[in-house]
């Protein structure tokens, strides 16, 4: 079904069964598969491929040569009808690839809303990207990676399968991330190690001075006190009870499956 207000260039191919919402614009030489749904106001610039069981929300912009919903690169994938779900107001720049999920997880690769995915970024199968994240040029996520809200991943950085990048974390360019990066932390290097908290980013997002001080104290307990993780946890829990801003930092310990960067 194609809404009557959609504008589609005659050189593009829209397979029967695709759902094209109101005010969608599809430029030249695009391909939209039969099981795709594109929400109102979304723009496909040109030479964009949206395939598979894919749902794209409202007011997104997909630039030339972006590919969303294609078959993933997992050798165990056998063509199952897995999915991609993309939220609203994302900027998906040139040559970005977002691959469909696998049956190893819940079968869905998810991208939230208000994200900037820069040129040639790759989001592999079963990844979960939150809201207001930035993946810079050539950032590469392995399968099953989770990137929480407001996280930034620098250019030419690769993230290992199953890693978690916490909220408000910032991973510098040309890094290799092989373990989980806690919220608020700046990480850099190959393999990535911690370099303090993302102070400027947190200030821009309205964190109070007291909250920032508490987060910094929690970071120091974890990374500069010489304590093991088990020794640090109770002290960080005490800070979190007094300062709710620290709670995501403490909760992250239970989420981590690959171990924290150290």
Cis, bond preceding 20 (omega within 30 deg of 0): no
What contacts 24+ positions apart, CB below 8 Å, involve 53-58?
A: 53/81, 53/82, 53/83, 53/84, 53/100, 54/83, 54/84, 54/85, 54/86, 54/100, 55/83, 55/84, 55/85, 55/86, 56/86, 57/86, 57/87, 57/88, 57/89, 57/90, 57/113, 58/21, 58/88, 58/89
User: Which of the following is catalytic: 52, 87, 143, 166?
Assistant: 143
172 is catalytic: no
Asked if 70 contacts 77 with a C-beta cutoff of 8 angstroms, the reply is no
122 is catalytic: no
**Residue 126 known to be catalytic:** yes
Candidate list 53, 122, 125, 243, residue with the active-site label: 125
Report the SS3 class of residue 204.
helix
Mind giving me the DSSP string for 63-94?
Answer: -TT-EEEE----TT------EEEE-SS-EE-T
Active-site residue among 27, 101, 112, 126? 126
Active-site annotation, residues:
125-126, 143
């Amino acid at each position: 079904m194609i809404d009557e207000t959609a504008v589609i260039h005659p050189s593009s191919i829209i397979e029967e069964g695709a759902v094209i919402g109101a005010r969608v614009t599809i430029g030249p030489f695009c391909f939209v598969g039969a099981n795709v749904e594109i929400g109102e106001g979304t723009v496909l610039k040109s030479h964009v491929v949206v395939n598979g069981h894919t749902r794209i929300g409202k007011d997104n912009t997909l630039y030339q040569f972006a590919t969303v919903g294609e078959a993933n690169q997992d050798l165990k994938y056998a063509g199952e009808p897995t999915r991609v779900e993309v939220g609203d107001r994302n900027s998906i720049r040139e040559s970005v690839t977002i691959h469909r999920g696998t049956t190893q997880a819940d079968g869905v690769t998810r991208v939230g809303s208000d994200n900037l995915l820069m040129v040639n970024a790759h989001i592999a199968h079963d990844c979960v990207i939150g809201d207001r994240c930035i993946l810079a040029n050539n950032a590469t996520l392995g399968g099953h990676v989770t990137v929480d809200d407001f996280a930034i991943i620098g250019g030419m950085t690769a993230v290992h399968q199953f890693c978690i990048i916490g909220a408000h974390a910032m991973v510098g360019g040309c890094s290799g991330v092989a373990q989980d990066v806690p919220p608020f932390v700046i990480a850099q290097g190959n393999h990535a190690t911690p370099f303090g908290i993302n102070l400027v980013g947190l200030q821009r997002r309205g964190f109070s001075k007291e909250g920032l001080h508490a987060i910094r104290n929690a970071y120091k307990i974890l990374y500069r006190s010489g304590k093991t993780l088990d020794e640090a946890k109770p002290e960080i829990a005490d800070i979190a009870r007094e300062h709710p801003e620290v709670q995501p930092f403490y909760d992250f310990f239970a989420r981590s499956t690959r171990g924290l960067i150290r």
